[in-house]
Structure 1
Amino acid sequence: MKNLGRWIGGGAIGGACGIALSISIGVVKHYEGTELESYPDPVGIPTICTGHTGPTVKLHQTKTPEECEALLAGDLGKAFDAIDRDVSPEINATMPPARRAALASFVFNVGEGKFARSTLLRELNAGNVRAACDQLSRWVYAGGRRLAGLVKRRATERELCLAGLEQ
């Protein structure tokens, strides 16, 4: 857990939800970066700001930094909502902030649909937290290619997910 302090030490907003949000913002910003002009991601999906995609994103768009912050807040809000919907209430109630942050970063990146159908979620809801966290290492492909950036991101998410579990 050599890098864990880097994410957790980033300053909490307050309370468990605020801590999870603060950590997830740091992880997502680190791995996504922020571009004010839209660009195609590694598999060609039009993307703008901090990893924002969707039907309204077209190439050659621009956004202000404030618009990008609003998009990130909305996208992460949707990721946390997905966790609240899909993770069983018993597991969700006891989930530490670092694990919530890891899952929010993951859901932000792959989408709620893939999360909802994942072995990761099934393992988590069955109470097999270590097995669930270990699933993150499998999600390193985009467009059929293993991407170095996803390998690094999933390693960080896995480290956060496992935080607090006994070795």
Structure 2
Amino acid sequence: MADQAPKRAGRLALAAALATALAVPAEGLRQVAYRDPPGVLTACYGHTGKDVQAGVVYSLEQCSKWLTNDMGAAISAVDRCAPGLPEPVLAAFGDAVFNMGPTIACDTKNSTAARYLQQYSATTYRDAKADALILTAACNQLPRWDNARIAGVLVRLPGLTKRRAAERDVCLKGLP
């Protein structure tokens, strides 16, 4: 098992780098805290949380630190829910989790994508054709998640539509 730890760490690092390449242009850098369309206080590259304060100007160093930590947490969450995904699939869903939380990849009651990802992970043997079908189905769920709740109403946001399409493209490149 110890032999697998470096390999897993490498997979997670590669997926985090790919996901970060998706997140940075989608989020943009805003060093002054602002409210995103749903009204969540946000700073830097999409960082949210109690540590974000209105009107504060954050350093590039702080923004980079948050991005690294937040993306690492998102990638780890996907890997816990659906271990063994190919790196591009892990990256695509990692960026989605970074952007909107773990439901898309982990909540099998509310996400068809999560059901497909867990079906792939639960398979004890690898069959390239079957794996490709399952992962294609999972990747094709990403564009469905382009809405945000604004004032209690789900609204399709063009930025999310574009981001989910980019994630889907990366995801499909990870098929066996």
TM-score range, shorter chain: 0.7 to 0.9
Taking structure 2 as the reference length, what is the TM-score of the superposition?
A: 0.78
Aligned AA (1:130): T
Q: Which residue of the partner structure matches residue 42 of structure 1?
A: 37
Among 132, 139, 151, which residue is 1:133 paired with?
139
In the TM superposition, what whole-angstrom CA distance separates every residue of 1:25-73 from its partner, at most 9, and x where no partner exists? 1110010001110001011110001000112323212210000000001
Q: What is aligned with 1:4?
A: none
Contact 2:31–2:43 at 8 Å: present in 1 too?
Answer: yes
Paired residue type of 1:107:
V
**TM-score using structure 1 length:** 0.82
- Count how many residue pairs are aligned between Structure 1 and Structure 2: 148
- Deviation of 1:111 after TM superposition, in Å, equals 0.7
**Candidates 23, 26, 36, aligned match of 1:28:** 23
> Please, which of 78, 86, 99 is the counterpart of residue 109 of structure 1?
99
SS in 1 for 2:55: coil
Q: Matches of 1:61 and 1:113 in 2, distance apart? A: 30
Partner of 1:84: 79
The equivalent residue for 1:96 is 86
Q: Which runs of 5+ in 1 are unaligned?
A: 1-13
Show the counterpart of 2:67. 72
Deviation, 1:130, is 1.3
Extract structure 1 runs of 4+ deviating beyond 6 A: none
Give the 3 Å change call, closer, same or farther, for CA 55–75 of structure 1 in structure 2.
same
- RMSD of Structure 2 on Structure 1 (CA): 1.7
CA deviations over 1:107-149 (Å, ceiling 9, x no partner): 1011124532122111111132111111101000012110111
Name the amino acid aligned to 1:153: R
